[in-house]
Amino acid sequence: MATTEKMTLNMGPQHPSTHGVLRLVLELDGEVILKATPHIGYLHRGVEKLSEHRTYHQTLPLTDRLDYLAPMHNNLGYVLAVEKLLDIQIPERAQVIRTIMAEMTRLESHLVWIACHALDIGAMTVFIYAFRERETVMETYELISGARMTSNFFRIGGLSQDVPPEFEKKVRDFVSVMPGYLDQYEGLLTTNPIWLKRTVGNGVISAEDAIDYGITGPALRGSGVDWDLRRDNPYSGYEKYNFKVPVGEKCDTFDRYKVRLVEMREACKIINQALDSLKPGPVLSDYPQICYPPKENVYNSIEGLIHHFKIASEGFPAPEGEVYQGVENPKGELGFYIVSDGGNKPYRMRIRPPSFVNLQAIEKMSKGSMIADLVAVIGTLDIVLGEIDR
């Protein structure tokens, strides 16, 4: 009588499709997954703890490195949380540019998602195509902040500087060609029988389960839950823009794929509307206690230099209290919970990373399926390890 044994397979942290350093311990019966246990922590940098020893301004660069595919949206979540704590308003122009860049970031993050997701399933060409478009977003990043990934462009109270004059044209050109590129990807994937075979009915998670697991973002909307913080709990002026929130029906990988594609088209529309409402004006509020002085003052007057030095070295005291600000990151709800004891550093900062919460569902979504399906599930959850491990 032949006996069969279960096989334990260690997938990662060095593996081509675990998106960084995710480690999964799989229990396999042949190719069928009985249990998938994620092991995390290979990219832990202690962002939350570090922030307790840094002033509010100094914590900002750390947030770039959370979800490194959506740096500006992380910045946005953090600055909004601090501004809420301080209860300050920012100039109109700064807010609009923030929204434009947040949506550009959404496009960028989704482009990397479609690239890697398609590559994981074997469609190599989409990968290169999507990276071609991502390059334009990166150039825009470089144009306004000087850096391609770790932009650190937003400031508490506004932006670090105004955007250069060519910014508007570059973004407008990009969002006008983007829908055509999206059609290109869809032409390669949406009606491709092999793509449909691989994604329809794969990684199903019901709406109730998705809510129970705390899944947010496109993964939640793919399961048919109509929930988007940009519309349901607006921040940074999102209530001014007209956009649709796509919702899936069948709760599978294909629906999540469709949701993200529609989101990219909607992001283009939001950017266009925001560009229309972009008016000249200041980009940093006038709160001398909190905001950095303009650079020309710093370089040309001793008062400005002292002002800059005080804020850079000492920061500003924040009122005692606690505050939570969630933003609709490309991957889900990114939340910053800050407790202040009245000092110039957060007493405690807790980050709610969407990838970390979404990752929990991997076992449920992959149980009973095959290794190839697991790879598709990792892709469809769109996790980023920099955010999971923090």
Question: Which residues contribute to the site for other proteins (CB under 8 A)?
Answer: 7, 9, 15-17, 31, 118-125, 128-129, 132, 188-189, 192, 194-195, 197-198, 370-373, 375
Closer CB to other proteins, 137 or 210, in the complex? 137
Closer CB to other proteins, 42 or 287, in the complex? 42
The nearest distance, CB 3 to other proteins, in angstroms, is 17
CA gap 183, 175 in Å, rounded: 13
Closer CB to other proteins, 117 or 390, in the complex? 117
Closer CB to other proteins, 95 or 136, in the complex? 136
CA gap 358, 348 in Å, rounded: 24
Judge whether 358 and 215 are in contact, CB under 8 Å.
yes
The nearest distance, CB 15 to other proteins, in angstroms, is 6
CA gap 285, 2 in Å, rounded: 75
Name the 3-class secondary structure at 332.
Answer: strand
- Helix or strand (DSSP H, E) at 157: none
The nearest distance, CB 125 to other proteins, in angstroms, is 5
Judge whether 263 and 220 are in contact, CB under 8 Å.
no
Contacts of 42 (CB under 8 A, 6+ apart): 13, 21, 22, 23, 385, 389
Strand order of the sheet with strand 7-11?
A: 7-11, 23-29, 32-39
The nearest distance, CB 267 to other proteins, in angstroms, is 23
Closer CB to other proteins, 93 or 198, in the complex? 198
CA gap 304, 293 in Å, rounded: 6
- Show the tokens assigned to 322: 């606690």
CA gap 364, 328 in Å, rounded: 24
CA gap 390, 378 in Å, rounded: 19
Closer CB to other proteins, 156 or 189, in the complex? 189
The nearest distance, CB 197 to other proteins, in angstroms, is 6
The nearest distance, CB 17 to other proteins, in angstroms, is 4
CA gap 257, 130 in Å, rounded: 14
Cα separations (Å) of 222 from 21, 210, 216, 323?
26, 10, 10, 30
The nearest distance, CB 383 to other proteins, in angstroms, is 15
Closer CB to other proteins, 79 or 119, in the complex? 119
The nearest distance, CB 121 to other proteins, in angstroms, is 5
Closer CB to other proteins, 9 or 306, in the complex? 9
The nearest distance, CB 175 to other proteins, in angstroms, is 20
90-107: b (≥16 Cβ within 10 Å) or e: bbebbbbbbbbbbbbbbb
Closer CB to other proteins, 133 or 328, in the complex? 133
CA gap 372, 35 in Å, rounded: 14
